[in-house]
A and B are shown apart, each in its own frame.
Chain A
Amino acid sequence: MTDFQDLFVISTSLILLLGAVAVLVIDILFPNNRGWLSVTALSVLFIAIVGAFLQFSFGDTQIAFYGAVSLDQFGLFFITLVIIVAVIITIASSSWALKLDLAGEYYALLLVATGSMALLVQAQDLILIFIALETTSIAQYVLVAITREDKSAEAGLKYLISGAIAAAIMIYGFALLFGLAGSTSLSDIAVFVNSSNSDIRLAITIAFIFIIAGFGFKMALVPFHGWVPDVYQGAPTRVIAFLSVASKAAGFAVALRLFYTGLGGGDTFIASDWAMVFGIFAVFSMFVGNTAAILQTDVRRLLGYSSIAQAGNIAIGLAAVSVGNTVGASGVLFYLASYLVTNLAVFLTVIIISERIGSYELKSYAGIIHRSPVLALVLILGLLSLTGIPPTAGFIAKLYIFNNAIQTGEIWLVAIVVIGVINTAIAAFYYLRWVRIIALDPPEVDEEYTFVISGRMQFVLAFTTIGMLLIGLAPSRLIDLAQNAASTLL
């Protein structure tokens, strides 16, 4: 394989990372024309997504850099996801970022975070996974603190410290795995796991529990969730919208990659340990996230806990790996895609509403439906989708992931699904209470004001809303995509 072909395999992340540099250069060359920054960032993202589609049509799985990186549909699925998130956030930031001192850096870091996530989901080597994960993390630490206000800086520091600890634990796990297998390449580790017997079961289990600390931090799973509420509250809401979807998706992608490629998939002797660990994480995440969310009065904290609970739901898909093929994994992919449109719809409306009314208090959302029926309806639809009420994407996503867990035919997974559906009832309590506040409660202040939704915001709102309804009403196409993408893991 020639060097050029190697570059083709990682071209998406290359485009994004070079684009970040381009944004910085433009920022330096034209300091007074900051409107161009978002245009540049958008065009970089556009080129990247076109590149990803070209690679997608290429079909076959390709390996490059001596097996460190692979190009497959699984990776491309996630690359598309994170780029879509980045596009939406860039569009939603275009007027807000102008007021930042660090507008150039903001877009550059967004592109770096996206680019390194794209590399992360392609990585086939522990070292590369670690480097890509750290690159995206560092970009996100800075993004969280980018406004340099007290709250934002505090959130950034919290995020940095807990992230650093998680990364440290993860590298312990990597070291253990390397010590056992004698290689950092996932495929070599798989060969080792397949050829060894259950004597090393404990060692491998400990290794991947350590590693999960790193991914679990990204996914916001309990017990690695401590940073979530504070960072969600303190950081700029656009950055959080990015984190809550893209970062979570990347975490799940690496976990799936590690399991199927590195640990040998569902047929090995450690598959049940893996499933059990994620089953436990799922149960705790759902209960902690949902019960804590009930008590919140700040919508950002509420969404933070809700994101923990949702991560618990997705983790059921990771627990369902023993179904033998990649059905459980496809549930994770499908759920993340519907979570993307749902959560972004909620965050975008929260951004528009809260910046207008100047408050993130839950009760200040009273009677929003009278001020702006459109915004209220999008937000209500998003909340219904988060709850899992038809005809939205969230309903199908939950149904699909629960069904996948049942398909394993294991009693303990049925128990987890029962816990999952009971948690849906708990979640309904606070999501629907929010719906009630928006739609039914009388407005708090009589002052008349209106919402102005810019054309760009209208575009992204329409995109996410149509996405929610489309996935909710005609999900077959996305299910096919998710299943095909997941099947390339094997």
Chain B
Amino acid sequence: MLTFYLFAPVAGALLIAMLPRDQENNSKYIALSFSLLAFITSIITFISFDTSKEGYQFVDSFDWITSEIGGFNIQYIVGIDGLSSPLILLLGMLSVVSILISFNIQYRQKEYFIWLLVLQTAVAGVFLSLDLVQFFLFWELELLPMYMLINTWGSGRKHYSAMKFLIYTLAGSAVMLVAFLIVGFEVGTFNIEAIVNQPPIDAFIPLSLLFWAVMLAFLVKLPVFPVHTWLPDAHTDAPTAVSVMLAGVLLKMGGYGILRIAVPIFPAQAYEFRTILAILAAFTVVYGAVITLQQKDLKRLIAYSSVSHMGYVLLGIAAFGAVGMSGAALQMFTHGTITGLLFVMVGMVYERTHTREIAEMQGLMHNMPKIGAVMLIAGLASLGVPGLSGFVAELTTFLGAYKMHPIPTVAAVFGVVLAAGYILWTFQRVFHGPSDRKWDNLSDANQWWEYVAMALLVISIVGVGIYPSVITESIESGIEPIVKILEAVI
């Protein structure tokens, strides 16, 4: 089942690759159908996932590489627990959305959809892998489609941004690999479940060093100040669909990695450095928000708000309690849908106005009421209005973090105030005010794919906002074992 979910997009990519040039226009339909298949699979697994059972479910595995000596035994093993199940759903949904909003891509669309589908498989591999080396393999595999997509279909300084993204991630993951190999050497296996059950007590390299080696990759990906600088560039210059994937699921790889690997394998070290993590998190929240306020480019603004919001995830994790970590995991899901939607809307606005300068826009509400309304929903969700999904996640995070880290939490709450500031102010500047002559003949959202993309995300935002336990039940069952591990060392 999960293997199908993992490889369906690649199968679609292969099919598109074999398409003759003159039928290039069909590539988007192939891409859509394969990613829909994956989405449906993820819905089925999400619904039939049994939150009362412990451990991983829907596990597929076989021995991929075996060697008699040298400890080079690598499994292919995929499975989900309560933590990854919502992320798989999120990825399935956002992939469909990102393919939908790319429907009017004309420039080399065949390659475009191939890379988009490969990206989906790579990210799915990260969320599903239960073997450290396999995890790393997909982690690296994700670089290539991202590099290609930003480099070819991006805008502005796309070469620079793509290379920056590549170098940051490669450098971050380099030491992670070494740490993985050392853990594998000490424990004698790369299977994550087995390692978590019997974490290394001592290694020939200090465990705290290994912890930070692993964390570095995840913190770069999350991203956290001061290793966040690749993100605004990559976001600004990436095509809309890639921004959606980047904000929606790629950043989650960082948070997911911390919860799945860094904390369970190095619980004592993670707990030891909790204050540093919390301070980093709070600083990222406030710093990101302050920088966001100063942005003149609409897309860059959302990008920096992403940095600020991912700070909450780290803060929730640094709380090292059931509530805080659940909040962090929920925040990953909700931020995926909310910021994904924000980028979709910015993309739609840009497609019509051909500018992203906030100063050049005003009164767009007159011409595009639908886009404006959805943008408002996404914006309100982003700043945490009750009844929408962002509120639940942020509230849970703060509740969980306050007891452990009062000062950073208070500082981070201040970030919410700033968020209200930049979201409302931006909305007012762009959509309100008298209508501008030059925008008179702009159309509102009018294509079926635009409606579907918006509807999917709005439904999930409102749905989770009103009835959060759809997601939280699953997340809590995934966080529970991590909390148990932590309680054992505290």
State the CA gap A414–B185 with chains docked (Å).
12
Q: Which of A391, A407, A409 contacts B141 (CB 8 A)?
A: A391
Asked if residues B68 and A483 are in contact (CB atoms below 8 Å), the reply is: yes
Residues of A contacting B71 in the complex (Cβ-Cβ under 8 angstroms): 403, 407
**Structural contact, A414 and B182, CB atoms closer than 8 A:** yes
Inter-chain contact A395/B137, CB cutoff 8 Å: yes
Q: A325-B69, A424-B170, A475-B65 are in contact. Are A403 and B184 (CB under 8 A)?
A: yes
**Does B141 lie within 8 Å of A390, measured CB to CB?**
yes
Contact of A409 among B137, B166, B171, B204 (CB under 8 A): B204
**Chain A residue nearest in CB terms to B175:** A418
Cα(A402)–Cα(B70), bound, Å: 11
For the complex, what is the distance from the CA of A425 to the CA of B166, rounded to whole Å? 8
B488 at the A interface (CB under 8 A): no
**Are the C-beta atoms of A425 and B174 separated by less than 8 Å?**
yes
Q: Are A406 and B185 in contact (CB under 8 A)?
A: yes
- Nearest residue (CB) in B for A373 is B17
Q: Which residues of B contact A402 (CB under 8 A)?
A: 177-178, 181
Contact in complex: B67, A417 (CB < 8 Å): no
B72 to chain A, nearest CB (A): 6
In the complex, whether B167 has a CB less than 8 A from a CB of chain A is yes
Would A390 and B140 count as touching, CB distance under 8 A? yes
Cβ-defined contact, A406 with B182, below 8 A: yes
Which of A16-24, A432-440, A444-452 forms part of the interface with chain B?
A432-440
CA distance A331 to B152 in the complex (A): 37
Residues in chain A near residue B144, CB distance under 8 A = 384, 389, 432
Contact B69 A483 (CB under 8 A): yes
Q: Most chain-B CB neighbours within 10 Å: which of A400, A406, A409, A424?
A: A406
CB distance from A147 to the nearest CB of B (A): 38
Of B70, B166, B167, B205, which one neighbours A403 at CB under 8 angstroms? B70
A54 within 8 A of B: no
Q: Mark B144-183, 1 if CB is under 8 A from A, else 0.
A: 1001100110000001000100110011001101100110
Q: Which positions 383-407 of chain A face chain B at CB distance < 8 Å?
A: 384, 389-391, 395-396, 399-400, 402-404, 406-407
A323 to B151, alpha carbons, bound, how many Å?
43
Q: Which of B60-97 contact A (CB under 8 A)?
A: 64-72
Task: Check if B170 sits within 8 Å of A479, measured CB to CB.
Answer: no
Tell whether, in the assembled complex, residue A411 and residue B184 are in contact, meaning their CB atoms are under 8 Å apart: no
The answer to whether A483 and B177 have CB atoms under 8 Å apart is no
Contact yes or no, A407 B185, CB < 8 A: yes
Q: Are A390 and B137 in contact (CB under 8 A)?
A: yes
* A227 contacts partner chain B, Cβ-Cβ < 8 Å: no
Which residues of B sit under 8 angstroms from A407, Cβ to Cβ? 70-71, 185
A:434-490 near B, CB below 8 Å = 436, 439-440, 475-476, 479-480, 483
Q: Could you tell me if A425 and B141 are in contact, using CB atoms closer than 8 angstroms?
A: no
Please encode chain B, from 126 to 141, with 1 for each CB lying within 8 Å of some chain A CB and 0 for all others.
Answer: 0000000100011011
Residues B133 and A399 in contact, CB atoms below 8 Å apart: yes
Decide if A483 touches B137 in the complex (CB within 8 Å): no
**B148–A440 touching, CB < 8 Å:** yes
Does B143 touch A at the CB level, under 8 Å? yes
Residue of B nearest to A421 (CB): B174
Q: A384-B144, A403-B72, A480-B67 are in contact. Are A418 and B178 (CB under 8 A)?
A: yes
B66, B71, B177, B182 interface centre (most CB from chain A within 10 Å): B177
Q: Which of A331, A424, A476 contacts B174, CB < 8 Å? A: A424
B177 neighbours in A (Cβ, 8 Å):
399, 402, 421
Chain B residue with the shortest CB-CB distance to A428: B170
- Selected from B65, B133, B147, B178, the residue in CB contact (under 8 A) with A432 is B147
Residues of the A chain whose Cβ atoms lie less than 8 Å from the Cβ of B64: 476
Q: 1/0 per position for A408-429, CB-CB distance to B under 8 A?
A: 0111001001100110110011
Q: Interface size for chain A: under 10, 10 to 19, 20 to 34, or 35 or more residues?
A: 35 or more
Quick one: closest A residue to B177, CB to CB? Answer: A421
- Which residues from chain B contact A440 at a C-beta distance below 8 Å? 148, 151-152
Closest to B71 in A: A407
Interface: A41 (CB within 8 A): no
Given contacts A384-B144, A475-B65, contact A330 B70 (CB under 8 A): yes
Q: In the complex, what residues of B have CB within 8 A of residue A389's CB?
A: 140-141, 143-144
CB pair A476 B66 closer than 8 Å:
yes
Cα–Cα, bound, A429→B163 (Å):
8
Complex Cα–Cα for A483 and B147 (A): 36
Looking across the interface, which residue of chain B has its beta carbon closest to that of A440? B152
Say yes or no: B181 contacts A403, CB within 8 Å: yes
By beta carbon, the residue of chain B nearest A475 is: B65
C-alpha gap A479/B163 in the complex (Å): 34
Question: Is A414 in contact with B205, judged by CB distance below 8 angstroms?
Answer: yes
Contacts of A390 in B (CB 8 A): 137-138, 140-141
Q: Mask for A358-385, Cβ within 8 A of B = 1, else 0? A: 0000000000000000000000000010
- Whether B148 lies near A439 (C-beta < 8 A) is yes
Distance between A478 CB and nearest chain B CB, rounded to angstroms: 10
Report the minimal beta-carbon distance from B69 to chain A, rounded to whole angstroms. 6
Tell me, rounded to whole Å, the shortest Cβ–Cβ distance linking B425 to chain A: 38
- Say yes or no: is A42 at the interface (Cβ < 8 Å to chain B): no
A221 at the interface (CB under 8 A from B): no
Chain B min CB distance to A314 (Å): 16
Q: What is the distance, in angstroms, from A439's C-beta to the closest C-beta of chain B?
A: 7
- The one of A331, A396, A422 that contacts B171, using a Cβ cutoff of 8 Å: A422
Chain A residues whose C-beta falls within 8 Å of the C-beta of B185 in the assembled complex: 403, 406-407, 409
**Interface residue A327 (Cβ < 8 Å from any Cβ of B):** yes
Q: Which residue of B is nearest A484, CB measured?
A: B68
Chain B: CB-nearest residue to A410: B204
In the bound complex, what is the Cα–Cα distance between A47 and B197 (angstroms)?
55
A483 smallest CB distance to B (angstroms): 6
A134 to chain B, nearest CB (A): 35
Q: Distance in Å from the Cβ of B287 to the closest Cβ of chain A?
A: 26
Q: Which residues of B contact A404 (CB under 8 A)?
A: 70, 72
User: Could you say which residues of chain A place their CB within 8 Å of the CB of B204?
Assistant: 409-411, 414
Q: Which of A325-373 contact B (CB under 8 A)?
A: 325, 327, 330-331
B171 touches A417 (CB 8 A): no
Q: A327 CA to B140 CA in the complex, in Å?
A: 26
- B67 in contact with A483 (CB, 8 Å): yes
Q: Which residue of A lies closest to B205 (CB)?
A: A414
Q: How far is the CB of A198 from chain B (nearest CB, A)?
A: 25
Q: A404–B133 Cα gap in the complex (Å)?
A: 14
Nearest B residue (CB) for A400: B72
List B contacts of A424 (CB < 8 A): 170, 174
**Those 9 A-B pairs whose CB atoms lie nearest each other, nearest first:** A421-B174, A425-B170, A327-B70, A406-B181, A390-B137, A440-B152, A479-B67, A425-B171, A409-B204
A-B contacts besides A403-B181, A421-B175, A424-B170, 16 pairs, CB < 8 Å: A325-B69, A391-B137, A403-B72, A404-B70, A406-B185, A414-B178, A418-B178, A425-B171, A428-B167, A428-B170, A432-B144, A439-B111, A439-B152, A475-B65, A479-B65, A479-B67
Binding site for B on A (CB under 8 A): 323, 325, 327, 330-331, 384, 389-391, 395-396, 399-400, 402-404, 406-407, 409-411, 414, 417-418, 421-422, 424-425, 428-429, 432, 436, 439-440, 475-476, 479-480, 483
- 25 CB-based A-B contacts, threshold 8 Å: A330-B69, A331-B70, A384-B144, A389-B141, A389-B143, A390-B137, A391-B137, A399-B177, A400-B72, A402-B181, A403-B71, A404-B70, A411-B204, A414-B205, A417-B178, A418-B174, A421-B177, A422-B174, A425-B167, A425-B170, A428-B167, A436-B148, A475-B65, A479-B67, A483-B68
